[in-house]
Amino acid sequence: SSNNQNITNTGSQLSFHDINYKVNIEKSLCKKTEVKQILYEITGIFKPGMNAIMGPSGSGKSTLLKILAGRVNRESVEGCVLVDGMNQPSNFRCMAGFVAQDGTVVGTLTVRENLMFSANLRLPKSFSGKEKNKKVDEIIYELGLTLCADSRIGANWLRGISGGERKRTNIGMELVISPKVLFLDEPTTGLDSSTAFAVMSLLNKISKNGRTIIFSIHQPRYKIFKLFDGILLLGAGRTIYHGPANKTLQYFNSIGYVCDEHENPSNFFLDIVNGDSTAIQALFNRNGNKNGSSNANDPSKPLVLTLAENFSNSPYGKKMKQEASKVYESYYSRKTNGSRMKHPDILYATSFLTQFRYVSQRTIQNIIRNPSAMLLQVTIMFFFGLFVGILFFQLGHNFKGAIQNRTGALFFITLNQIFSNLSSVGLFALERKIFIHESVGGFYRISAYFFSKYLCDLVPMRIVPLIFFSVTVYYMIGFQLEIYKFLLFFLILGVSTTSGATIGFAVSSSLESYSSAHLCLLTIFVCMEVFGGFLLNLTTMSEWLSWLQYLSLIRYTLKVGIHLLCVCVRMCVRVCVCVFA
């Protein structure tokens, strides 16, 4: 009971005033942009409790939710969002939790490890290791995850926990910071009705302790609907109803829409908002429902506009606007008087080095528990090394075809090291959703994520396979056996591999599609091969194309290798001249 008293009334009041949102849509054929408005003059208040944003597909639910959570570029949003009567801090995401519709947990880690990852990065330095463990244990118990706490989440190739347990784990990742406001985008998507009710009941329990829970939801069952405290019903980006959930049916009765006794209110609301659709009109006409989509005032006006006007002019709408205007007037008066009108900005809870440490630790765990990619890379490099070694086996020091054979071997080796980095496109492409969610949520700096992923991929996926390849190739071909020359050979290939992987990482982070990134990187490497100086004489190339040679990694690698080869050949010639002179 003492714990409940400590967190009671910790939720924030979120008010939003005259929210308009437009996006630019590019037409692919004529390459012109068209401005489309998603939200129209949305005003309202969400208080501590269960607050649902409902509406049909395309009504703007998720867009409004992201605007309230501070996850949309503010420059494209008109209006203002106030938290407890003050402006949102610039990084409101650090004090609010956001649970995305898709899973944002790493499948190779256990439930406890994912929660600890969030705790280690988002709880302040004042929390000791024991306190973090205690916090995670409390969340596991509160969410009913005790039995699966040490089970892996699961992935496409790995069997794991159920969908409901995964969803609760996502919620737990945000509850670690005890957020005043918790946002959820379609929390029941992909769950059966029983599991969905269990998840929503859990959220209802959390809201009773004073939390402000705001979520978008499409078509909940009646038992879930009864858990709601407030509802914002949207239709085509406009407010159809906003107020207490237990008065929603009363309001629609007042404007002539009566819900059948055994009908789900959620389905009833969607039928009303979708009244302009052909399917709904046919259904109403067939059943002789007088509450159909007909608009007696102006048949040419879309029904959704009439519904929005009805609510705006109704006592329910006027009461809501009056309450919202009081919050804004109080804010404006304090702003005019020069009072503090903004929450203090919340910086990252941990330092760059701490973030680098835990992201690196998670990446290494992921590689260890899914070693197939690394083993495949090592195996391929080893067998390709055997192939090149057999092809150019023990060239020796005779001068018959020495230059051609050695340059050919160097070209094959260089080509292998560059094209082996095609696997680097998966580094960021496969974790894009997790990265976006965690970086926006204040888990870590972008730089900490990049450097940790870069180094943790470079060593096991590039350097380790290169060791097997270099040892196999170098001694099978019969290059000079001095250890410092082998180390120089390894260093050159290592720099070439690192450079190729860096280009792969850049392409991977720039393109959303894995296939597009793979094709783009392949094109870049092929161009590097053409302008590398082995297949085409660069001195005879047209001037307008010759500059491309300076962008080829293969050219630089071959230039260093052939330069060293020529030095070695000249030394051998001088030794022979001195001996036979």
Q: Tell me which residue of 53, 446, 18 sits closest to 219, measured CA to CA.
A: 53
CA atoms within 13 A on the CB side of 382: 10
Residue 359 and residue 332 in one domain: no
Could you tell me if residue 416 is inside a domain? yes
Pick from 334, 349, 364: which residue ends a domain? 349
Please tell me the distance from the alpha carbon of residue 305 to that of residue 235, in angstroms, as a whole number. 9
User: For residue 324, what are its two tokens?
Assistant: 């919202």
- Residue bearing tokens 């022979």: 576
The C-alpha atoms of residue 526 and residue 435 are separated, in whole angstroms, by 30
Residue 373 forms part of a structural domain:
yes
Residue 30 lies in domain: 8-96+222-284+299-349
Domain boundary (333, 349, 365) is at 349
Radius of gyration of the chain (CA): 32
Residue 27 domain-assigned (yes or no): yes
Q: Are strands 86-87 and 77-83 parallel, antiparallel or unpaired?
A: antiparallel
Q: Are residues 275 and 395 in the same domain?
A: no
Q: Do the beta carbons of residue 220 and residue 42 sit within 8 Å? A: no
Mean pLDDT by 10 residues, the chain (581 residues): 39 87 72 80 91 88 89 82 82 81 83 92 88 91 88 81 87 87 88 86 87 89 90 90 90 86 85 63 44 49 85 90 87 66 66 92 88 85 88 68 73 84 80 85 88 88 89 85 85 86 86 84 86 74 76 78 55 52 50
Rounded to whole angstroms, the Cα distance separating 119 from 131 reads 10
Q: Do residues 265 and 53 make contact, with C-beta atoms less than 8 angstroms apart? A: no
Instruction: Report CA 372 to chain centroid distance, whole Å.
Output: 24
Structure tokens at 286: 């067939």
CATH code where residue 63 lies: 3.40.50
What is the torsional sign of CA 229, 234, 239, 241?
Answer: negative
Q: Are residues 344 and 379 in the same domain?
A: no
pLDDT given at position 208: 86
Q: How far lies 345's CA from each of 91, 342, 442, 443, 553, in Å?
A: 7, 8, 12, 15, 45
Half-sphere exposure of 561 (CA within 13 A, CB side): 31
> Is residue 89 within 8 Å of residue 95, measured between CB atoms?
yes
211 within a domain of the structure (yes/no)? no
Q: Which residues, 6+ apart, have CB-to-CB distance to 234 below 8 Å?
A: 42, 53, 54, 55, 59, 60, 61, 64, 240
Reading the block at residue 506, the tokens are 């850049």
Alpha carbon 572 to its chain centroid, in Å, reads: 58
CA distance 401 to 388: 17
Q: What whole-number distance in Å separates Cα of residue 245 and Cα of residue 248?
A: 5
Residues 388 and 339 grouped into a single domain: no
φ, ψ for residue 51, nearest 5 deg:
-115, 115
Residue 267 resides in a domain: yes
Q: In this structure, are 42 and 14 located in the same domain?
A: yes
Q: Are 177 and 93 within 8 A, CB to CB?
A: no
Query: How many domains are contained in the chain?
Result: 2
Pair 97, 174: CB distance under 8 Å? yes
In a domain, 157, yes or no: no
Nearest in space to 432 (alpha carbons), one of 351, 355, 521, 516: 516
First-to-final CA distance of the chain: 100
Q: Provide the token pair at 73.
A: 């570029």
Indicate whether 419 belongs to any domain.
yes
- Contact assessment for residue 486 and residue 493, using Cβ atoms and an 8 Å cutoff: no
Cα dihedral 141, 145, 151, 157 sign: negative
The answer to whether position 133 is within a domain reads no
Q: What angle do CA 100, 202, 219 make, to 5 degrees?
A: 60
Asked if 240 and 384 sit in the same domain, the reply is no
Q: Do 379 and 441 belong together in one domain?
A: yes
Long-range contacts of 333-337 (CB under 8 A, 24+ apart): 334/85
> 234 and 370 in one domain?
no
Residue type, 37: Q
Same-domain check for residues 334 and 447: no
- Assess whether 499 and 360 both reside in one domain: yes
The HSE-up count of residue 224 (CA atoms within 13 Å, CB side) is 26
Antiparallel, parallel or unpaired: β 32-46 and 49-54: unpaired
Name the β-bridge partners of 83: 14, 86
B/e letters for 555-577, b = 16+ CB within 10 Å, e = fewer, are bbbbebbbebbeebeeeeeeeee
Last residue of a domain, one of 349, 368, 391: 349
Structure-block tokens of residue 106: 């790493």
Residues 395, 460: one domain?
A: yes
Residues 427 and 313: their CA atoms lie apart, in Å, by 54
Residue 76 Cα distances to 44, 66, 255, 312, 569, angstroms: 20, 13, 35, 25, 65
474 in Cβ contact with 492 (< 8 Å): no
- pLDDT score at 120: 92
What number of CA atoms fall less than 13 Å from residue 387's CA on the CB side? 9
Q: Is the domain of 568 the same as that of 519?
A: yes
Look up the pTM and report it. Answer: 0.79
Cα angle, residue 128 at apex, residues 455 and 1 outer, rounded to 5° = 130
Rounded CA separation 486/384 (Å)? 19
Q: What is the pLDDT of residue 488?
A: 86
